[in-house]
Amino acid sequence: MAPKSTIPGFVLLDKEAGETSFKALFPLKRVFCTKRVGHAGTLDLRASGLIIAATGRATRLLPYVEAKEKCYSFRLHLGYETDTLEWDGDVLEQDERRETRDERVLDREDVERVLSQFVGDIEQIPPKYCAVKINGVRASDLMERGRNVELKPRKIHIESLELLGEADGADPTCTGKCMAAFDLVCVCSKGTYIRALGRDIGRALGTFGCVSRIRRLRIGHVTLDRAVKGADLTAADLVPVDQVLEFPVVRMGDAELASIRNGNWIPWKAPVENVGPEGRVFAANRDGEVLSLCKYEPGRILADVYLAEDG
C-alpha cells in the first residue's frame, strides 16, 4: 500500500488593493498551518484581483502558472504622467491643453486608432518604480533612495487590447489635470506592466498617461470569479493542481507511484493524449489524486516533482 499523504494544492485569492502580494499569503499560513506558501505573478500594491498561490510542494509548480497569459482591466487617465505611472503619484508631465464643450482634444476614436500599435510582440520599458533588479537591488528601492534609474526595454506579447468605454475623468484623487479617461481590458504575457502600457498609450496619442484601478481578471484559464478573499479562506478552498494546470493526468497503481516517488522512471506503453511540447503529465492514484508532475517520453514516464507529503 502507498503511504498516507497530504496533497498540497493551489489557492485562488482575490487580492485587495492596498495590500502587498506577500501579505495576501498570510491567511494561507494560518489556515493550512504551514510556512511553505508562495504565489505566481506579483500584483502591484495598488492593484487588485487574482493571485494563484500554492501550499507545500505545490509551490514548485508556480513557474508553470506564472508563464500563463494574464488578463487585466484598468482605467487610463490622459493628460498627465506621474513618477509611479499611477493616477495619484507626483506629476512629472502635464498637458496644458483644455477641452471645451464644443471641442474635444481626445476622444474614443483617437484611442482606438492607436491601440493596434500595442498588440503583438512589442518592447516595453518597465516603470521606474517596479521590482526589476539592478545589480541585485529593486528599481523601486533605488528610486526611493533618491537615485534615478534607467531600465532597458523588454520583449512582451499583448494578445489583445480592448477599449470598453469612456470613464469620468473628474476623479478628485487625480494629482494631475485629466483631459479624458477610458476603461480598457488587456490580455498579455508574463512581464507586462499595465502602468507602462498606460504611459505608452498616452505618448502615442501625443499627450501623457497614467492608470488606476488595475485588476487582474484571469491567469491562464482560471478566472477571478473562482477566487476568495483572504479573510474568508477555509481549508475547503484548496484547489487540486490539475484544475489550474492543464497537463494530462495519468492514473497509476501503487507500485508505479512508489517508483515515481523514489525518483525512478517507469515503462509506459499506453498513449497519452494532449501532451504539450514540454512533455509534462500529472501522475495520479486510482482515485484521481495527483501525486506527482512527471516528464512523458514515448515508452516511459520519468519522475520530476513529487507533490504528496508523508502524513
Catalytically annotated residues: 44
Nearest by Cα to 209 from 218, 196, 227: 196
In this structure, the number of other CB atoms found within 10 A of the CB of residue 144 comes to: 10
Nearest by Cα to 124 from 163, 100, 153, 151: 153
CA distance 230 to 210: 29
Which amino acid is residue 81, in one-letter code? E
- In the structure grid, which three cell numbers stand for residue 271, read together? 498513449
Q: What is the distance between the terminal CA atoms of the chain, rounded to a whole angstrom?
A: 14
